[in-house]
Amino acid sequence: MTAHFYTRFSLRAISISLVMALLTLLLIDASCRRKGEIVEPAVLADTLAPKITKMHIPGIPPENIRIDQVKRLLIVTVPKDYPTSYRDGVKLTMTPGAKQLREFPLQVDLCRGTFSDSRPMTPITTEDFMYDPKELIITDGKRQKAYRLKIKPEGEMAFMQPGKRYTVGTDETGDILENIAVFNYIDSLGDNRGTVIFRNIATGEEFKGEIGGCQSFGHIYLGRPYHLLPGEYSLKIRKSTGRQTVNELFVTVVPGKFVYYGAFGKLSGDRQLRISGSSLFNGKQAVLDVWHNRTGVRFQITDLSFDRRGNVTSVTIPPNVASGIYYSTLTYDNRKSGIAPVTILNDDNQPTTGYISTDFANIRLYPKNSSPVVLHKGQLYYNWPSPTEAIKAGRNLEVHIQSIKSPSLAYSIPIKLPKYWADSPPWAASDYPTFTIPDSVLPGTYLYRVQYIDKEGIKQIGDWIEVDVEIQ
């Protein structure tokens, strides 16, 4: 009897405790509701204030903007030929008492799905870093809601002028692929990437390139695709979402005027001379004529065959050819190129002068195809010797000059290297090696070369440059 009484009493006490706990939770919940500190259940989001009831974006029809109150999405169907991805003048209609948490004139970026302040030159504050630009937060003082943009295309992605044809030369001539209009390019939230696909109609081979940034209607720029092999191509655009244009443009690539850049080789190893240029396609005769100004040595290489892109070929350096700086012309399809240098070194460590300049970039006194190079005492000169890594690892880089009339008269002039030389592309005068001819050097005509001591302690000596140097 006693045991039964205590069991009933315990159950009753537990029931009372549970009721009190639930009442406490309800009171806390009500308090939080009054303070606006809770997030309402999603199923009630369409009935509870605050709400955005309408959004206006200039140029976009009202029926293209829909609001999903449950998911809190501002769904924008972008017209197929909408002219821009950025738009200010955005207006909101909200329930009474509601306002933007951060009150500023709204601008939307339809490519990135972001909201921003459209006022020009608005100072950035620490508060700006506390908010997600992809969220538009509104408040009525009690509750807050965060809305996001969802961007949809109006239809399939398509070129406005399907079948349009362009003609481009491999020498960067011909039509420019610009102001290309694509319907419905803007699509998913935050997706800016696009790929242009050139497909060779005869072989099926594809060449791809990136389209930078988000492209608004009528502003896609592809330049001249001169890197393509001669032939007929179709052109499509594919987005990273998998969407692609449902129609095509066409590009005809024709061989352009050839250009010859010069050649470089080493006597060590396989003695290969690498000849470079552009638009040097096979099927036409190519002959290289090479000569040395100082020694009078001349040689010719015939029956050259370039790679399929018409850019480079390699041939064996003829026997008995010494290291040095030569000059050359290339005759291709019965047309002769301009004069270009041919550099032949003994090995990887042999230094070359590079160039000599008075303003570190633009006015180059050397290389040149005629004597003399005139240098003045006391003048600061810039140059760029090579090989850079071997020189940096070594020491005592210097210009060495020797009188042509009196070979016993010679001078070694230090070349000053910047601390971070060649670590990155040069931008200023302080990025270049420099030297100054001292007043103690006698005026006259000299041979000129560079030399240094490598990390193994071996003196590496460059060839005399192929033109005379006159010191004044």
Provide mean pLDDT across the span 240-247: 90
DSSP string, 118-134: -STTPPP-GGGGGS-TT
Is 80 exceeded by the pLDDT of residue 43?
A: no
Amino acid at position 304, single letter: L
Q: CA distances (Å), 260 to each of 264, 305, 355, in order?
A: 13, 14, 19
Position 41 confidence tier, pLDDT thresholds 50, 70, 90: low
Is 80 exceeded by the pLDDT of residue 286?
A: yes
Give CA torsion, residues 37, 38, 39, 43, to 10 deg: -140
Q: Please give the CATH number for the structural domain made up of 42-153.
A: 2.60.40.2340
Fold entry, domain 158-254: Immunoglobulin-like (2.60.40)
Provide mean pLDDT across the span 268-288: 90
Position 189 confidence tier, pLDDT thresholds 50, 70, 90: low
Amino acid at position 80, single letter: K
pLDDT value, residue 360 = 65
Q: Tokens 């009188």 appear where?
A: 403
Is 90 exceeded by the pLDDT of residue 402?
A: yes
In this predicted model, which residue has the larger pLDDT, 28 or 201? 201
Lookup: tokens for 379: 């003048």
Provide mean pLDDT across the span 428-434: 86
What whole-number percentage of the chain has pLDDT above 70?
A: 85
376-389 per-position pLDDT tens digit? 999 999 988 999 99
Domain-wise residue ranges, the chain: 42-153, 158-254, 259-345, 356-471
Confirm if 95 and 50 have CB atoms less than 8 A apart: yes
The chain-wide mean pLDDT, for the chain, equals 85
Position 200 confidence tier, pLDDT thresholds 50, 70, 90: very high
Provide mean pLDDT across the span 102-115: 84
Is 50 exceeded by the pLDDT of residue 365?
A: yes
Confirm if 359 and 365 have CB atoms less than 8 A apart: no
Is 70 exceeded by the pLDDT of residue 19?
A: no
DSSP string, 355-402: -EESSSSS-EEES-SSSPEEE-TT-EEEE--B-HHHHHHSEEEEEEEE
145 beta partners: 138
pLDDT value, residue 90 = 92
Is 60 exceeded by the pLDDT of residue 114?
A: yes
Fold entry, domain 356-471: Immunoglobulin-like (2.60.40)
How many H helices and E strands in the chain?
2, 34
Provide mean pLDDT across the span 396-421: 94
| Domain pair 42-153 / 158-254, same fold | yes
Provide mean pLDDT across the span 309-318: 91
Is 50 exceeded by the pLDDT of residue 333?
A: yes
The answer as to CATH 2.60.40.10 being correct for domain 259-345 is yes
Please name the residues in contact with 44: beta carbons below 8 A apart, sequence gap of 6 or more: none
Provide mean pLDDT across the span 256-279: 93
